[in-house]
Amino acid sequence: MRVIAITGKGGTGKTAIAAMLIRSLVSKNMTILAVDADPDTNLPEALGDTVEETVGDQREFMLRERDNLPPDVDKERMLESKIYSILAERHGYDLLVMGRPDGPGCYCYTNNLLRGIMDRIVKNYDLTIIDTAAGLEHLSRRIIRDVDELIVVTDGSKRGLQTAQRIRVLVDEIGLNISHMHVILNKVTPQNRDRLIELVKQLELEMVGMVPYDEALARLDLEGISLMELPKNSLAQVEIDKIIMKLGM
């Protein structure tokens, strides 16, 4: 049971990296839970998958219906069953989409139930991979409590690297129980490679891999084709396989 959240600045390649990781790991016969925690919901598409309903929808259902439910109904059991019913079960992985964030009103109780439910669900998988939204709020308000590793994806931009560093500071500040924070440099080109290695060193970030800029990947994404179609020997996928080895997955 290992839970890894993938974070980083917007557009750096979090979703692409998550999808490539999942793809490689599925072929290793691990049970994987893929979680799309980005309200924009891109991971299913990257996986060539579609998901109709989200955790957010179920949460809204509970909020909307609570006064009409039998008074002594066990709401945790009910929500749990709802979450299970929207968990997309595929060969090798299950996919859960978080969907819309909290609206106005009080979500304290429902989210608290949800945390308990997710604690239990996550235990059923060898590995949970969470693709998150850009930004940092989700780190402090997360529904999955057991996250113990972060993969911070950054591209070569100064801003991307700064975000990576801010995340590290934040993790310390809010006292998250993160045992490891790994950095993946993405979209690396022969031109920016050396400068990036230097920058990462200055920022004292622990780097686990450099994923090259991959024309084939960019093209698939542009045409809206799932990354599952990426050739196994493409530059990016090969580097991802190396990262998996390094992380001991």
Partner 1 sequence: MADEYPFEISPMFEGERVRKDDLYIEFAGPKSKGFELVRVAEENEIEDDGFTLIGPDISEMEEGLLYPLGMIYRISGALVEPDLEAIVERRNHDFQNYIQGMMHLNQRYDVWLRISKDMIANGLESLEHIAKATMMLFKNELSFIEKIEAVYITDLEKVEEELTKAMEIYAARDERTKNLHDEDVDNFYGCTLCQSFAPTSVCVITPDRIALCGAINWFDGRAAAKVDPEGPQFAIEKGECLDVIGGEYTGVNEVALKMSGGEYNKIKLHSFFEFPHTSCGCFEVVGFFMPEVDGIGWVDRDYTGLAPNGLAFSTMAGQTGGGKQVMGFLGVGINYFRSPKFIQADGGWNRTVWMPKDLKNKVLSDIPSSIVDKVATQDDVDDLDKLKQFLIDKEHPVVEKWPAKEEEKAKPPEKKADEVGQVAPGPGVFAPTMPLDIPSMIGGGGEGIKVTLKNAKISIDKIIITNKK
**Residues that bind ligand SF4 in the complex, under the rule CB under 6 A:** 106, 108-109
Contact partner at residue 84 from ligand ATP, partner 1, Mg ion, none, CB < 5 to 8 Å by partner kind: partner 1
Asked if 27 is part of the footprint of partner 1 (rule: CB under 8 A), the reply reads no
Could you tell which of ligand ATP, Mg ion, partner 1, none binds residue 135, using a CB distance below 5 to 8 A set by kind?
Answer: none
Rounded CA gap, 239 and 2, in Å?
21
Q: Which is nearer to ligand SF4, 84 or 109 (CB)?
A: 109
Beta carbons of 117 and 79 less than 8 angstroms apart: yes
Largest Cα–Cα separation, the chain = 65
Q: Is 225 in the site for partner 1 (CB under 8 A)?
A: no
Site size for ligand ATP, by CB under 6 A?
A: 20
Q: Is 31 near partner 1 (CB under 8 A)?
A: yes
Residue 70 in the binding site for partner 1 (CB under 8 A): yes
If the CB atoms of residues 123 and 166 are measured against partner 1, the closer one turns out to be 123
Q: Closest distance between ligand SF4 and the C-beta of residue 107, in Å? A: 9
List own/partner pairs for 49-52 with CB under 8 A and 24 or more apart. Answer: 49/88, 49/90, 49/95, 49/226, 51/86, 51/88, 51/95, 51/97, 52/86
Q: How far apart are CA 246 and CA 249, in angstroms?
A: 8
3-state DSSP assignment of residue 244: helix
| Rg (the chain; Cα; Å) | 18
15 binds, among partner 1, ligand SF4, Mg ion, none (CB under 5 to 8 A by kind): Mg ion
Q: Give, as ranges, the residues between 196 and 235 that touch ligand ATP (CB under 6 A).
A: 211, 213-214, 217-218, 221
Q: How far is the CB of 102 from Mg ion (least distance, A)?
A: 20
Residue nearest to Mg ion (CB): 15
Q: Rounded CA gap, 248 and 2, in Å?
A: 11
Q: Which of 186, 184, 183 is nearest to 235 (CA)?
A: 186
Candidate list 38, 94, 131, 221; residue touching partner 1; CB under 8 A: 94
**17: three-class secondary structure by DSSP:** helix
Between 110 and 186, name the residue whose CB sits nearer to partner 1.
Answer: 110
Return the residue matching tokens 């009409």: 68
Q: Interface residues with partner 1 (CB under 8 A)?
A: 31, 63, 66-67, 70-78, 80-81, 84-85, 89, 91-92, 94, 104-106, 108-110, 112, 120-121, 123-124
